[in-house]
Structure 1
Amino acid sequence: MSMASLSRPALPRPARRGPALALVAAALVLAGCASTPPAERPAPVAQATPTPATPAVVAPSGPAAEPAPWLRARARWVPVDWAALPGWQADRAAELWPALRAGCARPLAAWAAVCARAQAFNPPDDGFAREFLQRELQPWRVESHDGETQGLATGYFEPLVAASRRPTAQFKVPLYRAPADLASRRPYWSRQQLDTLPAARAALAGLEIAWVASPLDALILQIQGSGRLRFTEADGRSRQVRLAFGGHNDQPYKSVGRWLIEQGEMRADGANWPAIRAWGERASPARLNEMLWSNPRMVFFREEALPDEAVAGPPPGPRGAQGVPLTAGRSVAVDPQAVPYGTPLWLDTTEPLAATPLQRLVMAQDTGGAIVGAVRIDLFWGAGELAEQQAGRMKQPLRVWALWPKGSLPPS
């Protein structure tokens, strides 16, 4: 599939969603973290070098020895020079700061000192931000244990779906809270059983959060694991709430895109979300249900209030697996056995719509069931139509570099 969110099951995410899809146009800035930018570029800060844990590979001896490669459960990190990062000088590096500050709200021990310094200022320009990162961090090429450096970049987003608090002729597909007996029945009823069996349907009675217009609207919310609902009030005003991940039925996740390919309805290179939605909109009800039921997993939600956008500006992104809000275009989902949450990454990939280079700094702040392996990320594009198009079509070749505090080792 061309979209990670179509191949990734929704998983529990701390304080949020699950499909992992930052997807706001403006980046989140944590209140109280920034102070007036310094008038001059800061001088190098003397740092005490932490005593590192024993690395997986012993470093060569001698005064000019480089750091040794680090082995994690699903990745090998190899130290490199900054010149090895393609396009490093061209990125708008200052745009990383909102996502960096968000990650620094829950830093690993190795990041405490760097985060304290990063939170003390707003970089006045991209060069300032790059200088800070180069002074504080060491770049590492991320590769598989057998040395493979090429991988896959996909995308996800936060759907925005029109909804109603009551069922109507237009809005007739319910979205549910988690049932009370969810934990006592493993696995829980499948998607098809919840749609068709009286006993299963009875278990969801009264748990409706809202109703949406199409089963495809419900499906994309469940694939992404969270989203926003837009309600139209009696006076014509629009109001949004967030649906955060509330649990799932413990059934296996099956990709509807893969099902369509196996049915001969789509080619593998064309099974993206826009194409899947278009197929579903023209399919017969029986055929549409067959596609929906090919994925037995059902996702349940919980509602979260959002601030008034007219007063507070665009709402923050949903919370990722690190437990911090995601930042559109600067947060990614990773395999945490390859890259720890809170790690800045340098991506070398291409744009999904224009196939032009996409080389940028991002923060590892989320995960997903299909995001497995060393060179594998899912880029959070934010919310809205453009984010949906970008995420829905993203399936790009990828190389990744991790940035880590100098003199420190990541957790094994």
Structure 2
Amino acid sequence: MTRTLLALFLAIFPMTGTAQTEPETAYEILSFDDLTGWNADDHAAALSVFLNTCDAMDDPDWRALCGFARDTRDARQFFELFFRPVRITDGQDPLFTGYFEPELDGSPVPGGRYRHPIYRMPDEARNTRPWLTRREILTGGAMQGRGLEIAWVDDPVELFFLQVQGSGRIRYPDGRVIRVGYGGANGHEYRSVGQEMVRRGIYEPHQVSAQVIKNWVRRNGAQGEELLFHNDSYVFFREVSEVPPDKGPLGAMNRSITAMRSIAVDPAFVPLGAPVWIEKEGNAPIRRLMVAQDTGSAIKGAQRADIFIGTGDQAGRRAGQLKDPGRLVVLMPIQRAYALLPDAVQ
């Protein structure tokens, strides 16, 4: 990559525009020297993940960069030449969590222990916002006899967390595996059952994890079921078994995501497809360039990210333990980065 390409890019997309900021949103342009651990990362791995979705970005600036990315022979130089690190803040504390692709035991037909259906989205749920609540969907009979079932699973608690994750694999008794991906939701706001347990005095905030919630719900029968009804949001699915087994699940850009390189973000602050530098603190610090390729109903805020850990129980355990502070820095095309500043020229 050469400075000539940079000059060409800036000639096509000059640094113009007036900053459009939301209240309490601030932008700070950093240098790559400000990114702790930047020199030690595998930039080629990050570039490969960026290339997986950059051609789906509906913006001429990003698509031009995607074309340059395909021709680059030096991944680190590509990012340093065409981007500027931008720290976006909105007054909320930074928070990193993890998510994963669960594997559930299920069946293509109901019977025996397989009694809990995974549903496709009914048409009226698309046209009525919000639609029925979780309680009404599961207890009111609105879904019965309509052929909307994709599969039946053996554990309603794991099904609840499948909805939280948004995608997963279902393993049938004969060894076959199907994949399901996000197919829509009922339009109700996501409500955290973990926060509700803290509010009720069941646990302290530092004690709550996905596994702790699962264990408590299973131990407490009807009371546990009632806790899950606290979350009115309900997620529907679609079968996506065409995704190869060696690839990650589909993210919000309808492309496979990559373990430890893909994150879910709030697209109100971070463009989907953008490279994002992660500095996660905690017991296992992470310093890595990732790509914003997914979203989540609980992922809200400029410094909020959900890191995709991988597939299966081990990934699930790691994801459930991840809840750390840190810093998120978005790599923006140069002219867009400077246009975000309050004193950007017209």
Measure the CA separation in 2 of the matches of 1:318 and 1:205: 26
Matching residue of 1:140: 86
User: Does residue 363 in structure 1 map to residue 291 in structure 2?
Assistant: yes
Measure the CA separation in 2 of the matches of 1:172 and 1:350: 41
| 8 A Cα contact 1:74 1:374, kept in partner | no
In the alignment of these two chains, the number of paired residues is 335
Alignment of 1:290-309 (within 5 A): 290-306=226-242, 309=245
| 8 A Cα contact 1:72 1:337, kept in partner | no
Matching residue of 1:343: 274
| 8 A Cα contact 1:317 1:328, kept in partner | no
Which residue among 305, 316, 323 is the counterpart of 1:377? Answer: 305
Matching residue of 1:83: 33
Matching residue of 1:110: 61
Call closer, same or farther: CA 1:162–1:51 in 2, change over 3 Å: same
Measure the CA separation in 1 of the matches of 2:56 and 2:110: 41
TM-score normalised according to structure 1 size: 0.74
Counterpart of 2:248, as a letter, is P
SS of equivalent residue, structure 2 residue 113: coil
Once the two structures are TM-superposed, the CA of residue 103 in structure 1 deviates from its matched residue by 2.4
Which digits, 9 at most, give the CA deviation of each residue in 1:135-186, with x for residues without a partner? Answer: 2222223223x6x7x5111121221111111222222211112234334555
Matching residue of 1:279: 216
| 8 A Cα contact 1:53 1:409, kept in partner | no
Matching residue of 1:4: none
Counterpart of 2:236, as a letter, is F
Deviant stretches of 4+, over 6 Å: none
Measure the CA separation in 2 of the matches of 1:100 and 1:74: 29
User: Does residue 54 in structure 1 map to residue 23 in structure 2?
Assistant: no
SS of equivalent residue, structure 1 residue 356: coil
Call closer, same or farther: CA 1:93–1:210 in 2, change over 3 Å: same
Which residue among 111, 116, 119 is the counterpart of 1:176? Answer: 119
Once the two structures are TM-superposed, the CA of residue 97 in structure 1 deviates from its matched residue by 2.3
Measure the CA separation in 2 of the matches of 1:305 and 1:130: 35
Question: Structure 2, unaligned stretches of length 5 or more?
Answer: 341-346
TM-score normalised according to structure 2 size: 0.87
Which residue among 259, 264, 267 is the counterpart of 2:196? Answer: 259
Measure the CA separation in 2 of the matches of 1:100 and 1:346: 12
Once the two structures are TM-superposed, the CA of residue 74 in structure 1 deviates from its matched residue by 6.7
Which digits, 9 at most, give the CA deviation of each residue in 1:99-135, with x for residues without a partner? Answer: 11012222331123321121135x5xxxx42223212
Once the two structures are TM-superposed, the CA of residue 308 in structure 1 deviates from its matched residue by 5.8
SS of equivalent residue, structure 1 residue 294: coil
SS of equivalent residue, structure 1 residue 112: helix
SS of equivalent residue, structure 2 residue 299: coil
Alignment of 1:9-408 (within 5 A): 42-46=1-5, 47-48=7-8, 49=10, 50-56=13-19, 71=21, 75-107=25-57, 108-120=59-71, 128-144=74-90, 151-183=94-126, 185-198=128-141, 200=142, 202=144, 205-233=146-174, 238-284=175-221, 286-306=222-242, 309=245, 314-320=246-252, 322-350=253-281, 355-408=283-336
Call closer, same or farther: CA 1:143–1:182 in 2, change over 3 Å: closer
Which gives a bigger RCO, structure 1 or 2 (Cα 8 Å, sep 6+)?
1
Call closer, same or farther: CA 1:151–1:230 in 2, change over 3 Å: same
Measure the CA separation in 2 of the matches of 1:99 and 1:75: 28
Measure the CA separation in 2 of the matches of 1:409 and 1:308: 36
Which digits, 9 at most, give the CA deviation of each residue in 1:196-220, with x for residues without a partner? Answer: 335x354x54322111111112101
Measure the CA separation in 2 of the matches of 1:133 and 1:361: 10
Matching residue of 1:17: none
Counterpart of 2:125, as a letter, is L
Report the aligned-residue RMSD.
2.5
